[in-house]
Amino acid sequence: MKHHKLLGLLLAATITAGNMLHMSVSAAVTGDINGDGSADSTDLSLLQGYVLGNSELTQTQAKTADINGDGKTDIYDVVKLRKTILASDRSIKYTAVTDKITTGYTDAFKKLSVNDGGSAVTSTTELKTALSPYLSEALVNNYLTKYNDTFFSQSVLLVKPVFLTSSNYQKKKIYTTAECGCSSSYAGTYTTKNVTSYLNIRVEHSAASESIGRIPPNAIIPVSYGNGQWAHVTYDGISGYANMDYMQKISEPAPSYEFIPDLKVDSIKYSAGKLNITASEFKSTATDFAPAILIQTTISKKDYYANGTTWSVTITQPPELKYDYPLAKARLDAVGWDLQAAFKSAAATTYYGQKPDMPQTTDYSLEWYADYGFTNGKGNCYVMAAMFCEMGRLLGYDVHLISGKVPLKDGSMGAHSWTEVKIGDTTYVCDPDFAHETGNNGYMITYGQSGTWRYVKELVMD
């Protein structure tokens, strides 16, 4: 027993000597008790355990444990180390995950700016408070189950909701034209309308052509092309043409995207008493777009001494899609993205006479004429044709603005403008002013067609 007691005295002397010795030994980083190059919560935990008598320090660790340099290792060193940690900039270890949410988010979620709404939560009560403004009660309860009291006994959760507007990532719609002249602008999902028995699928764009299939009432019908009268349909394995008078669109084609975005946490750094979390967007491997994203980042509770958190989220989405003809886009948004609707809209423009009645310019370009018409709601044949030309191009058609002459009532030839629409090997004339002045069909006619004007083409203006 005496030997054991002597051993204990010797050990105590060794520790005391160690405490005295370390006054003249300085660590590379003040408070770096475990020697990993930084003073952090791990060092604080070692020091607290030693002072409370729950654990021992190695001789090397004991040399750096007297943080305040008073020759003793006690509670004052714990306080000093805590202050040292709070005053030092450092990176925090973390784990992070993002959830992509398609339903169950609120309007408040949609209105969040990209760097707002982030919270550091240390309990289930705080988590509920942080999420309730943005998620449904069911979703909030799911997260309260995932992050329960046991989780919060060891960890702090950093949550950040981010809303991404899907239209900013969508590819621009480019409408294509089939060989028959039908446009993909009619594509989408349709159902039958005013059909009591069935709707025929025909072999040609004609009610007189052979019926090769039948579509029952209330059926869902995919359409790839159309012309306002006939649609390219496939139903029950049969492809052909159906009369659009008995169909109505119920949804547009699924959009395609430049890429599907997701978010990741890049770093968490402690500085000036705050946690600074940086996150950035990256290209996801997902195939479906989810606008609502909830970032969840876990850090150890012993690392959390912050008096606040800041989020810095970098979104690298493509710039907002721009249209070459913004006024034409606005008109199509109003009248419908349909070539015939665009023609009727241009033809309905109030006629404003020839030069010099109209304001003068030295830039008689497609854009000038079209912008004048869209802005003022009036103009001459050049204005009407230019308006239709821009709308037709946005619809994906090969349309050109033509300048030339047509016969006048006195027998002479007068200046005139119209458009050409090229579909396959056929060139059609679309003349809004002809329809405006005569009340006859000026849509998709051909040169020399009976009942139309005699067009003398001189110049392709665009």
Calpha distance 222→233 (Å, rounded) = 6
What value does the mean pLDDT take over residues 410-438? 92
DSSP per position, 227-290: -SSEEEEEETTEEEEEEGGGEEEEEPPPP-BS--EEEEEEEEEEETTEEEEEEEEEE-S-SS--
What value does the mean pLDDT take over residues 334-359? 83
Does residue 397 lie in a domain region? yes
Please indicate, yes or no, whether residues 219 and 158 belong to a single structural domain of this protein: no
Among candidate residues 96, 100, 95, 97, the one with its CA nearest the CA of residue 139: 100
Neighbours of 177 (CB within 10 A): 21
Does residue 122 lie in a domain region? yes
- Tell me how many degrees the CA angle 280-153-106 measures, rounded to the nearest 5: 45
What value does the mean pLDDT take over residues 367-372? 92
Please indicate, yes or no, whether residues 124 and 203 belong to a single structural domain of this protein: no
Q: What's the CATH number where 53 sits?
A: 1.10.1330.10
Per-residue pLDDT band for 8 (boundaries 50, 70, 90) equals very low
Calpha distance 457→403 (Å, rounded) = 6
Burial category of 462 from C-beta neighbours within 10 Å (exposed 0-12, middle 13-18, buried 19 and up): middle
- Residues 6+ away with beta carbon under 8 Å from 193: 245, 246, 247, 248
Please indicate, yes or no, whether residues 337 and 413 belong to a single structural domain of this protein: yes
Among candidate residues 223, 225, 226, 206, the one with its CA nearest the CA of residue 215: 223
Q: Retrieve residue 72's tokens.
A: 């003793």
The strands making up 309-314's β-sheet, listed across from edge to edge, are 90-91, 261-271, 274-283, 309-314
Amino acid identity of residue 347, one-letter, is: A
What value does the mean pLDDT take over residues 403-412? 92
pLDDT digits (tens, 9 = 90+) for 98-112: 999 999 999 999 999
Return the minimum-mean-pLDDT range out of 35-49, 197-211, 215-229: 35-49
Among candidate residues 216, 213, 218, the one with its CA nearest the CA of residue 200: 213
Matching residue, tokens 């006619």: 445
Return the minimum-mean-pLDDT range out of 10-24, 263-277, 443-457: 10-24
Q: What's the CATH number where 455 sits?
A: 3.10.620.30
Domain closes at, from 30, 53, 88:
88
Does residue 321 lie in a domain region? no
What value does the mean pLDDT take over residues 314-342? 82
- The domain of 405 spans 326-460
**Structural domain count, the chain:** 4
Does residue 179 lie in a domain region? no
Domain closes at, from 88, 108, 129:
88
Domain closes at, from 88, 110, 137:
88
Does residue 408 lie in a domain region? yes
pLDDT digits (tens, 9 = 90+) for 140-196: 999 999 999 999 999 999 999 999 988 888 876 767 778 888 888 889 999 999 999
Calpha distance 176→173 (Å, rounded) = 10
Please indicate, yes or no, whether residues 363 and 452 belong to a single structural domain of this protein: yes
Does residue 101 lie in a domain region? yes
- pLDDT given for residue 281 in this prediction: 93
Q: Retrieve residue 392's tokens.
A: 């037709």
Please indicate, yes or no, whether residues 345 and 416 belong to a single structural domain of this protein: yes
Please indicate, yes or no, whether residues 394 and 435 belong to a single structural domain of this protein: yes
- pLDDT given for residue 197 in this prediction: 95
Please indicate, yes or no, whether residues 237 and 277 belong to a single structural domain of this protein: no
Return the minimum-mean-pLDDT range out of 5-9, 89-93, 374-378: 5-9
Does residue 146 lie in a domain region? yes
Please indicate, yes or no, whether residues 425 and 373 belong to a single structural domain of this protein: yes
Per-residue pLDDT band for 18 (boundaries 50, 70, 90) equals very low
Threshold 0.75, pTM exceeds: no
How does DSSP classify residue 396?
T
Q: 101 and 288 in contact (C-beta within 8 Å)?
A: no
Map 267-280 to HEC letters.
EEEEECCEEEEEEE
Among candidate residues 350, 454, 354, the one with its CA nearest the CA of residue 408: 454
Please indicate, yes or no, whether residues 157 and 273 belong to a single structural domain of this protein: yes
Please indicate, yes or no, whether residues 234 and 288 belong to a single structural domain of this protein: no
Rounded percentage of the chain residues whose pLDDT exceeds 90: 56
Q: What's the CATH number where 228 sits?
A: 2.30.30.40
Please indicate, yes or no, whether residues 101 and 219 belong to a single structural domain of this protein: no
Extended strands (E) in 327-386: 350-351, 378-379
Does residue 301 lie in a domain region? yes
Calpha distance 451→351 (Å, rounded) = 22
What value does the mean pLDDT take over residues 84-98? 85
Residue 407 has pLDDT above 80, yes or no: yes
Please indicate, yes or no, whether residues 163 and 266 belong to a single structural domain of this protein: yes
Residue 257 has pLDDT above 70, yes or no: yes
